[in-house]
Amino acid sequence: MRALRNTFRQARETPTVPEMLARYRAVKPNASELRRNSGGKTLFEAAVFQDLALAALVESQKLVAQRGTRRRPL
């Protein structure tokens, strides 16, 4: 996860390793269904990978929102 974090580093809101693991755990149960629904043989076909990326983005937005609520001053 550390290597992925460095590879996909964004200018803002770079996730922590625990946040990346949380996203992975959230998306993993749906991976087989996403693959089946797209008719793909592997997770690395373009359509399946795009669906996985979208699912990860949704989870990412949830985690960023949660992080923001934890950091707000009292």
Digit-coded pLDDT (tens) for 11-61: 566 777 888 888 889 889 989 998 998 888 998 898 888 888 888 888 888
* Cβ neighbours of residue 32 closer than 8 Å, sequence gap 6 or more: none
> Would you say residue 4 has pLDDT above 70?
no
Over 80: is that where the pLDDT of 67 sits? no
Q: Let me know the angle formed at the C-alpha of 25 by 24 and 26, rounded to the nearest 5 degrees.
A: 90
How far lies 54's CA from each of 71, 72, 74, in Å?
Answer: 26, 27, 33
Q: Domain residues of the chain, as ranges?
A: 2-71
- In the prediction, which pLDDT does 8 show? 63
Q: Residue 74 pLDDT more than 50?
A: no
Q: What is the pLDDT of residue 65?
A: 82
Per-residue model confidence (pLDDT) at position 56: 84
Angle at the Cα of 25 from the Cα atoms of 20 and 26, rounded to 5 degrees: 95
